[in-house]
Structure 1
Amino acid sequence: MLIGEVARRSGVSARMLRHYESLGLVRPTGRTDAGYRAYSGEDIRRIFHIESLRSLGLSLREVGRALDDPGFRPSELVDDLVHRTRERIASETELLTRLRRIGAAEPAGWEDVLQIVGLLQALGSKSAGTRQRAALSSAEEAAWPVEALVEAALSETDPNVAGALRWALAQSGEGGSALLAEGLGSPVAAVRKRAVQSLVEMPDGEATALLRDALAHPDIVVRRYAALALGARGVADAVPTLIDMVVEEANDVDAADALGALASDPASADRIAARLVDCLAHGTAEPSARRRLTQALADIPGPTASRALADLAQDEDRVVALTATYILGIRDAR
């Protein structure tokens, strides 16, 4: 079969067939009377073998070795191909992610594209200082690559850089809260913590709704951060978690402050006081916990808290009694 016919049947151009011949990969076994190359059936099968191996990503040199070396072990080459393919996929995925982020920022011109590329490169720098400057400068750009900021915030271990990233996200407008909420589902506890810490600083209503949902999160750290933030935002749903924090001595001072802020409304004050009293009566027998609950009543106004403190002034626990008496003295002096 002549080279032109082989090219038509195999899909390999005549030029490439000649290249294969120059490399010694496949040589036509015959010549016509006129001196033209003549390929046998075995030659054509070899051509298809070459194309099959090339489709796996082998170089022509590797193809020749695979076909001609009797000692060739395909498993080693396949393992190497798997490794190279994974690296290529990772590289292509990184490029795709970068392109998607650039597109999401809706650059108006190439100058904007170059600025965004520079920012993305800086956020991925090994230098903490470079990452921090990139986070702080991102708020000055016309369009923020929110996805990149969220990814950086969820992976950042340096506290100063993490703070700058959270601030940048808080300035970024819509979109960041929902992306951060996805981080709450991470199997890595540190990522969940960074996600809720960042969500706490988001000022929008969507963040408040997501934090309210986070009160039911299985991760206690997430629940506690959400409760503190919601207490500061006046969301009464946080009260049970805040009281648990007081009992468990987990950021108990901040939790008590949040309860005090929620108690600024008279109706809320009585409900919070009633919960604290119930916890004192039935929730725990641990002396240190009862003392913290008594201290928490100090910032709760209203008659329910005052009556509870009067009862606690007669408590068998001398520290509880003295604490309640002291608080009542301050309240009477106001």
Structure 2
Amino acid sequence: MAMPDEDPNTMRALRALENEDQSVRLRAALAVGTNPDPRFVDKLIERCAIEPEFLVRDMLTWALTRHSSAMTVPQLIGELRSPRAQARSQALHTLSKVGDRQAWPAITRELLTDADDEVARAAWRAAVVLVPEGEESGLAAVLVTQLGRGGREAQLSLSRALVALGEAITPVLQTAKTDPEPRVRRHAIATEGLLLDPDAGFEYAIEEAKRIVALGTNG
């Protein structure tokens, strides 16, 4: 990490981001975001990769969104190649919050199908925010390959991402509803249920999908 000018206030804030006390780190991230300074960007990104507390990570992300995207986005894209899963997932989460579509080419199929569920979920959320107009169908075709993956939280994240793409998902869901794997069929039917009736809720949609699959019909 490139060291900032060693003025006392800057160095104090940088040290606070590494403090053992979670509340100190949280206040430091808040302070850095309240008074953005390009000298903090490296440290904020570095901390995102290793910060153990969710609330602090979220504040670090907020602090990054307060800085110029011209400075943060290239560095966040670099983090997507990190071997550390948290670095990848947090960079993806931050890119989704920044919302700069210049990052779209970096949301690769490899990330969308990452073996780590948290990375994949962050990639799905980032992808639906950043996808350019006209490329929704291509994204849907990749996302649908993940149907049936993981537990309820992962499946809900995927369904929400697919539903956010709107009618572009209808053709791929129709195909997925005939998949030989019951788990995939259930997830596809539940996702279609959410698309048709967003107020129904995922739990209801997945239970209804189980019933439909058990009866051997997609209707």
The residue number in structure 1 matching 2:98 is: 233
The correspondence of residues 43-82 of structure 1 with structure 2, limited to 5 A, is: none
The residue number in structure 2 matching 1:248 is: 116
Q: Secondary structure at the match of 1:266?
A: coil
Equivalent pair of 1:297/1:309 in contact (CA under 8 Å):
no
The residue number in structure 1 matching 2:186 is: 322
The structure-2 alpha-carbon separation of the partners of 1:331 and 1:229, relative to structure 1 and needing over 3 Å to count, comes to same
Write the distance in 2 (CA, Å) between the matches of 1:223 and 1:254: 9
Deviation at 1:222, TM superposition (A): 1.2
The residue number in structure 2 matching 1:204 is: 67
The residue number in structure 2 matching 1:159 is: 22
The answer as to 2:41 corresponding to 1:169 is: no
The structure-2 alpha-carbon separation of the partners of 1:309 and 1:236, relative to structure 1 and needing over 3 Å to count, comes to same
Deviation at 1:317, TM superposition (A): 2.2
Write the distance in 1 (CA, Å) between the matches of 2:40 and 2:135: 28
Write the distance in 1 (CA, Å) between the matches of 2:78 and 2:184: 35
When normalised by structure 1's length, the TM-score is 0.44
The structure-2 alpha-carbon separation of the partners of 1:192 and 1:259, relative to structure 1 and needing over 3 Å to count, comes to closer
Unaligned runs of 5+ in 2: 1-5, 199-219
Equivalent pair of 1:266/1:301 in contact (CA under 8 Å):
no
Residue of 117, 129, 136 corresponding to 1:269: 136
Deviation at 1:308, TM superposition (A): 1.0
Write the distance in 2 (CA, Å) between the matches of 1:267 and 1:320: 26
Equivalent pair of 1:215/1:227 in contact (CA under 8 Å):
yes
| Greater RCO, CA 8 A, separation 6+ | 2
The residue number in structure 1 matching 2:206 is: none
Q: Secondary structure at the match of 1:309?
A: helix
The structure-2 alpha-carbon separation of the partners of 1:294 and 1:214, relative to structure 1 and needing over 3 Å to count, comes to closer
Write the distance in 2 (CA, Å) between the matches of 1:318 and 1:149: 53
The residue number in structure 2 matching 1:224 is: 89
The structure-2 alpha-carbon separation of the partners of 1:273 and 1:287, relative to structure 1 and needing over 3 Å to count, comes to closer
Write the distance in 2 (CA, Å) between the matches of 1:288 and 1:178: 35
The correspondence of residues 87-126 of structure 1 with structure 2, limited to 5 A, is: 100-102=6-8
Greater mean deviation of Cα atoms: 232-241 or 219-228: 232-241
Deviation at 1:294, TM superposition (A): 5.8
How many corresponding residue pairs? 177
Equivalent pair of 1:156/1:162 in contact (CA under 8 Å):
yes
Deviation at 1:306, TM superposition (A): 1.5
Q: Among the aligned pairs, what percent are the same residue?
A: 16
Equivalent pair of 1:242/1:259 in contact (CA under 8 Å):
no
Equivalent pair of 2:48/2:60 in contact (CA under 8 Å):
no
Structure 2 counterpart of 1:244, one-letter code: T
When normalised by structure 2's length, the TM-score is 0.63
The answer as to 2:165 corresponding to 1:300 is: yes
Deviation at 1:242, TM superposition (A): 5.0
Structure 2 counterpart of 1:271, one-letter code: G
Write the distance in 1 (CA, Å) between the matches of 2:113 and 2:24: 32
Unaligned runs of 5+ in 1: 1-99, 103-144, 185-189, 281-285
